[in-house]
Each structure stands twice: as C-alpha cells, then as structure tokens.
Amino acid sequence: MARTDRLFRLLQTMRTMAAPITAARLAEETGVSLRSLYRDIDSLRAAGARIDGERGYGYRLTEDYALPPQALSREEIEAIALGMAEVRSMGDATLAKSAASVLAKVSATLSDHREQQLFHAVSQVYRPVARFDAPPHTDAVRQACWTEEALTIRYEDKSGAQTSRTVLPLSMVYTERSLTLLAWCCLREAFRMFSVARMSSVERTGDSFRPRRAVLLREYLSELRQA
C-alpha cells in the first residue's frame, strides 16, 4: 500500500473509531507494524493533524487537517444527523457503514460546540426493527448502477414465474419495506421495476451503457410522474 494511501486510511480509522484508540488497535486496523504506526502518527501531526494522546494511552483525532472547517447551521447539522440515522435504520449494512463514516468526516470539520449538536441532535430516528434485510444482490446491483453496466438477472415475478432478463440498471429506490431497481428491460424494451429481493441471481455482462443512465433515468421518472 502506498504511504499516502496508508496515511489516509489511518485518518479515516481515527475519524470513525471511538476514542481513545490504542496504537495496537490502529496498527491492526491499518495493517502496519507498531513501529510504522508511530511514524505515521508523527507524519500526520507534522502535516497539521491535531492528534492527542501518546504511546500506551491511546490516541484521539481532535482536528483534521485534511478537511476544511465547515460553517453549518444548527438546522443543517440536525438534517445531517437525522438523515444519517435514517440510513442506518434501513437495514442496508453497506450504507449504514457509510453513514457512520459521513458523520465522522463531518464531525472532524466542526467546532466543539457544533460537534456536540451533531451527536446530540434534537431530532431522532427510532426504529426498533430495521425496515428490511438488504437482499443478497444489493451491492452488486448498486455497483452496476454506478458503473452503468448491463446486468443479466434471474427474476421471479409476482405469480412465481421465473424469467431471465438483461436490464440496464438506473436507480435503486428504498421504500418502507422493500428495495426496488428502476431499469430498462431489454426483453420488453421498456422501463420496468424489479424487486431486488426477487432476484435469485445477478450477473455482470461487461456491456456498458455509459453515458445513458442519467438520460434514461430522467425519462423514466418523467413517465412515472405522468402516470
């Protein structure tokens, strides 16, 4: 791993883990020796990161040189906290982890007063049970949307019939109890919705439809609004 990548990974680890974090734990998380970890801590400090603590006691990132100070209002902070809490409650482990990372990055750019408002927001999300368990193909479908790559899916419709479709994945829609893929169906030559939970297999085709996703999605959403 390149040294710059290693330092960035160390910073991100310190943003997301509860402080104080022991050197041994940081070394384990970043995959380096203790000796390298101590050198990396010194390098980050020299670059402007304010890291409290020392060997044997643990470390705390209190000021992050890599992120500029943010001038967020109390209401904007409230919206961020509420939005990330909602994402964490959905049941999608990948996005839940990313939401925690977002909060850590935002927190690193705030003053102490604003940071307290972020982690002790007035508005809260209470969901004792996640909305749904993310279907097994969620990450693969999400990745295909981003890379604009056609997928071949094995799909079971509402009547229980199994079909194989090649689709152009456009967007994933999170409803109250399900996850739906908006796509162009090459078989029907029309826009279609597919429940990700009903996909028994998802295979990458290697066929790119870039840069059509944004245009197709805009057309599909226009159709939905007119329906």
Which tens digit of pLDDT belongs to each residue from 8-38? 889 888 888 878 899 999 999 888 999 999 9
- Identify each DSSP E strand in 34-156 by its residue range: 50-54, 58-63, 149-156
User: For residues 21 and 138, what is the distance between their CA atoms, to the nearest angstrom?
Assistant: 32
The alpha helices in 48-92, defined as continuous H runs, are: 74-88
Residue 55 has pLDDT above 80, yes or no: no
Q: For the segment 147-180, what is each residue's pLDDT rounded down to a tens digit? A: 999 999 999 988 889 999 999 999 999 987 789 9
Residue 220 has pLDDT above 80, yes or no: yes
pTM of the model: 0.68
Mean pLDDT of 187-193: 96
State the helix-helix crossing angle for 93-107 and 74-88, rounded to 10 degrees.
160
User: For residues 6 and 148, what is the distance between their CA atoms, to the nearest angstrom?
Assistant: 30
- Which residues have CB under 8 Å from 80's CB, separation 6+? 72, 102, 103, 106, 118
Mean pLDDT of 196-224: 95
Answer for the pair 90, 130: CB distance below 8 angstroms, yes or no.
Answer: yes
pLDDT band at 6 (very low <50, low <70, confident <90, very high): confident
Q: Which fold has domain 3-63?
A: Arc Repressor Mutant, subunit A (1.10.10)
User: What pLDDT, on the 0 to 100 scale, is given for residue 70?
Assistant: 64
- Looking at 2.40.50, 2.60.120, 2.30.30, 3.40.50, the CATH number of the domain 138-226 comes to 2.30.30
